[in-house]
Amino acid sequence: MPPARLRASMRFEVHATDPAGRARAGRLVLPHGETETPIFMPVGTRATVKALTPGEVEALDYRLILANTFHLALRPGDDVIGDLGGLHRFMAWPHAILTDSGGFQIFSLAELRHITDHGVTFRSPLDGAAIELTPERSVAIQQNLGADIIMAFDECAPGQCSERDAEVAVIRTTRWLRRCLDAKTRADQALFGIVQGNVFPALRERSAKEVVACDCPGYAIGGLSVGETKAQMWQALDVSTAHLPAGKPRYLMGVGTPADLVRGIDLGVDMFDCVLPTRNARNGQVFTSTGVVRIRHAAHTRDSAPLDPACSCETCRHHSRAYLRHLHMSDEILGHRLLTLHNLAFLRQFVRDARAAIVDGRWPAWRDQRLAQWETQVDTTAATP
Amino acid sequence: MPPARLRASMRFEVHATDPAGRARAGRLVLPHGETETPIFMPVGTRATVKALTPGEVEALDYRLILANTFHLALRPGDDVIGDLGGLHRFMAWPHAILTDSGGFQIFSLAELRHITDHGVTFRSPLDGAAIELTPERSVAIQQNLGADIIMAFDECAPGQCSERDAEVAVIRTTRWLRRCLDAKTRADQALFGIVQGNVFPALRERSAKEVVACDCPGYAIGGLSVGETKAQMWQALDVSTAHLPAGKPRYLMGVGTPADLVRGIDLGVDMFDCVLPTRNARNGQVFTSTGVVRIRHAAHTRDSAPLDPACSCETCRHHSRAYLRHLHMSDEILGHRLLTLHNLAFLRQFVRDARAAIVDGRWPAWRDQRLAQWETQVDTTAATP
């Protein structure tokens, strides 16, 4: 039986909502602590937010991070992490964690996958071994890992698939969610269902209704940002969140440019994750209060100014653009560290400002100002290395 | 004219000497602060001690680090660093720095080098451009960088060269030292001469006497750990330090296993540098109080113990061998960080203990104990990636 504090069920509170729309400010209380919403979750793929220590992520005021079931099940193995007391202890992160189901990585990374109603078979990218992932196995792995929030095992149909294929994925996603709920035995983990349906509004509505019927403690919107147009993406998100209950948290998976966060929050999303801010940092692209800075640019060679004079992160307090450019051009680990630190500091402040705007009743103006600044700035394709 | 604190000349104090030998404990006072001796200097090749922030190096209680003239002159360029206020400000390291002359890298890394009495011509490894380095140019670069201690431009003859070739290098090294001293214009930098002579005792003695005749504020022993046997190395060091004045600091270049530090200190060396502890860390090999640990070893897969229970560094306080192994196997930046942090913490404590043994009159016993532990442990060839 887990200790008392781990038995506390998840609680979600909405503190303020934009009167003219769906944007809301809230708080998510989890067994390993709480976090304000809306919130961006840094991605700790392999039990590490790349380049940072847990202490640094904590000092950046993050209290909820994501880790990837697919990667951790392959290495070091969820059994290893379970034997060592679970993921929190393994990675020395005392705050809340969300694990995905492994589904998205199978559909985006794995070779030779074979999908049936039972589950998915694929080859390990590490050693080529055949691996089967099912709803039951995904839940078992996530129970070994022990995150505060775990995700249902869903089918993520390709971005350009037919409506028929998308429908098959919706049907399977609902069936698999029921199997996940049946398989779940730990009381201290909140299992979120996932809305699928690609870019088809009728399927999104159907999926949302079917998933909500399962009465999960929270809901995710999956299958977006996978190749559709921005217009299609926002329409699909709009339909999805319209059919999700107001009292439960909503999580838009894999989305994370500043402009996308604003659009998502505006459509009622509470939680986001994306590798973009950390991956872009390692590629030398950072967010600043005046827009995107590409540190590789020769203009920074002798620039003694900080990345962002409006930022108070360690990178901006101590280091010049000239030094950061030199580290990046030399492929030095410290360069990856300092740019990652800054991007996560920037996004933390960005959602903190968004929340304050909602609470203060200034959301529409804040939203419009940020969209005007950011919708022309960041090419999300830059996230692909 | 530099500010007053930068005009302070270097001062070296010997606080205690082993009555039976040459090991000594002292203090080196430099324009950017002071450090105890004997001391190991972490290598910050490209203006960064790989994987660590300046704040972390400082927190490890290091107050003197090394940076490489060769690498910094190529990128970002010593003119860039000079324009930005010098290396201390560029890399945000407020404490003391030593720069090498660039000579060793030319002889070990550069292609198509051509050596004359005037200097050395070689091709840039970055873009193939022809570059000439002379004593005057090396000093000019090092003056742009602005380190507290700068090194004479010497000829480092190959490890297996003939006595005649070694003699030519000794003659040239002395001549070049005089040209370095003539070229030097900044009063706030201490220029160390370098003793060459390979494994030939007569040449070592001659080189030491010639260099000492130039009356430098400190002396380095170069051309060791370049392929000769350990016995040859210690004999050459013995002859070299025997002819160096007791009142000035002695620096053994490029040497840094625990056993080598003990031998060097025993022969009267005060300062050491080596990439081994930082490079080995990135390769998963760490020093602990019970010997070398190779974190890749499968035995650590489920080991919840710290790297070294006797160590109080951040890595050992917060992280298990199992997690460190996972990070290393996954080639995660955090793994390189945490292992580097530990190795530098270990070596800092190692030389602190050595100093205490000298001060307390326990040096022979401490030396013998550590040699028994370490001389069979570390294969220095493991430093080569």
Q: Does A79 touch chain B if contact means CB atoms closer than 8 Å?
A: no
Contact call for residues A88 and A94 (beta carbons, < 8 A): yes
Instruction: Measure Cα distances from B333 to A281, B264, B303, B330 in Å.
Output: 13, 33, 21, 9
Residues A18 and A121 in one domain: yes
In a domain, B245, yes or no: yes
Q: What is the DSSP string of B3-22?
A: -HHHHPPPEEEEEEE-TTSS
To the nearest whole angstrom, how far is the Cα of A80 from the nearest Cα of chain B?
Answer: 6
CB atoms within 10 A of CB B172: 20
Written as six digits, the tokens of B154 are 């010497």
Residues B110 and B223 in one domain: yes
Is the Cβ of A344 closer than 8 Å to some Cβ of chain B? no
The answer to the question of residue A1 being in a domain is no
Respond yes or no: is residue B148 known to be catalytic.
no
The neighbouring-strand residues paired with B123 are B111, B130
- Which residues 6+ apart lie within 8 Å of A189 measured at CB? A31, A142, A143, A146, A147, A148, A149, A150
Is A126's Cβ below 8 Å from some Cβ in B? no
* Statement to judge: residues B238 and B107 lie in one domain: yes
**CB-based burial of residue B196 (10 Å sphere; 0-12 exposed, 13-18 middle, 19+ buried)?**
buried
Note the pTM of the prediction, 2 decimals: 0.95
- B104 against A12, higher pLDDT: A12
Tokens in use for A211?
């998933």
Do A158 and A194 share a domain, yes or no?
yes
**Quick check: is B1 in a domain?**
no
Q: In sequence order, what are the beta bridge partners of A123? A: A111, A130
The answer to the question of residue A380 being in a domain is no
Which of B75, B301, B338 is the closest to A76 by Cβ? B301
Query: Residue A300: its chain B contacts at CB < 8 A?
Result: none
In this structure, the answer to whether residues A231 and A365 fall within a common structural domain is: no
A260 shares a domain with A344: no
Residue B59 lies in a domain: yes
Res. A379 pLDDT band, cuts 50 70 90: low
User: H-type helices in chain B, by residue range?
Assistant: 4-7, 54-59, 69-74, 78-83, 87-90, 103-108, 135-145, 163-183, 201-212, 230-242, 258-266, 276-282, 314-318, 321-329, 333-359, 363-374
CA A277 from centroid of its chain's CA atoms? 11
DSSP B226: S
Element (H, E) at A280: helix A276-282
Assigned domain for B25 exists: yes
Distance of CA B348 to the CA centre of its chain: 13
Last residue within a domain, chosen from B225, B258, B274: B274
Considering only CB atoms, which chain B residues are within 8 Å of A332?
46, 48, 50
- Cα torsion angle, A94, A98, A104, A108, sign: negative
pLDDT tens per residue across span A228-243: 999 999 999 999 999 9
Boundary of a domain, candidates A258, A274, A290: A274
Question: Quick one: A117 and A240 in the same domain?
Answer: yes
Distances in whole angstroms, Cα of residue B379 to Cα of each of A41, A63, A166, B159, B376: 44, 44, 59, 18, 8
Is residue B52 a contact partner of residue B348, using CB atoms and an 8 Å limit? no
Residue pairs spanning A and B at CB distance below 8 A: 111
Residues B136 and B175 sit within 8 Å (Cβ to Cβ):
no
Three-class secondary structure of residue B67 per DSSP: strand
Name the domain boundary from B256, B274, B292.
B274
Pick the catalytic residue from B18, B154, B266, B273: B273
Which residue in A341, A336, A348 sits closest to A385, CA to CA? A336
Identify the domain containing residue B51 by its residue range.
Answer: 10-274
Neighboring chain A residues of B50 at a CB cutoff of 8 Å: 332-334
Confirm whether B182 is a catalytic residue. no
> Of B287, B293, B298, B292, which is closest to residue B345 (Cα–Cα)?
B287
With DSSP H G I counted as helix, E B as strand and the rest as coil, what are the percentages for chain B, rounded to 5?
45, 20, 40
Closest by Cβ to B75, choosing from A51, A85, A330: A330
Per-residue pLDDT of chain B (385 residues; tens, 9 = 90+): 444 444 457 999 999 999 999 999 999 999 999 999 999 999 999 999 999 999 999 999 999 999 999 999 999 999 999 999 999 999 999 999 999 999 888 877 766 688 999 999 998 888 988 989 999 999 999 999 999 999 999 999 988 899 999 999 999 999 999 999 999 999 999 999 999 999 999 999 999 999 999 999 999 999 999 889 999 999 999 999 999 999 999 999 999 999 999 999 999 999 999 999 999 999 999 999 999 999 999 999 999 999 999 999 999 999 999 999 999 999 999 999 999 999 999 999 999 999 999 999 999 999 999 999 999 875 544 443 3
CA-CA-CA-CA torsion sign (A350, A352, A355, A360): negative
- A246 and A304 in a single domain? The answer is no
Helix B201-212 × helix B230-242 angle, to 10°: 30
Tokens representing A291 are 């827009």
Considering the domain architecture, whether residues B98 and B151 belong to the same structural domain is answered as yes
Q: Would B161 be classed as within a structural domain?
A: yes
Amino acid letter, residue B28: L
Of B76, B318, B326, nearest to A301 by CB-CB distance is: B76
Provide the β-strand partners of residue A288: A291
All residues of chain B having their beta carbon less than 8 Å from the beta carbon of residue A322 are: 76, 80, 84, 90
Domain count, chain A: 2
How many angstroms separate the CA of residue B329 from the nearest CA in chain A?
Answer: 9
Mutation to test the B interface, candidates A93, A330, A336, A340, most B Cβ within 10 Å:
A330
Which domain CATH number covers A157?
Answer: 3.20.20.105
ipTM more than 0.85?
A: yes
Residues B234 and B361 in one domain: no
Residue A312 burial (CB count, 10 A): 12
Looking at the partner chain, which of B50, B85, B320 has a beta carbon nearest the beta carbon of A333? Answer: B50
Pair (A45, A115) in one structural domain: yes
Q: And the tokens for B23?
A: 């090991």
Find chain A residues with C-beta within 8 A of B325's C-beta: 76
The residue among A173, A250, A229, A240 whose CA lies nearest residue A204 is A240
> Which of B76, B319, B330 lies nearest to residue A326, judging by beta carbons?
B76
Sheet holding A120-123, edge to edge: A111-115, A120-123, A130-133
Residues B32 and B132 in one domain: yes
Give dist(CA A32, CA A34) in Å, integer.
Answer: 7
Instruction: Order across the sheet with B11-17: list the strands.
Output: B11-17, B24-30, B33-37
| E strand map for chain A | 11-17, 24-30, 33-37, 39-41, 64-67, 96-99, 111-115, 120-123, 130-133, 149-151, 190-195, 219-221, 250-252, 271-273, 285-288, 291-294
Task: Indicate whether B54 belongs to any domain.
Answer: yes
Which is the catalytic residue, given B100, B260, B270, B308? B100
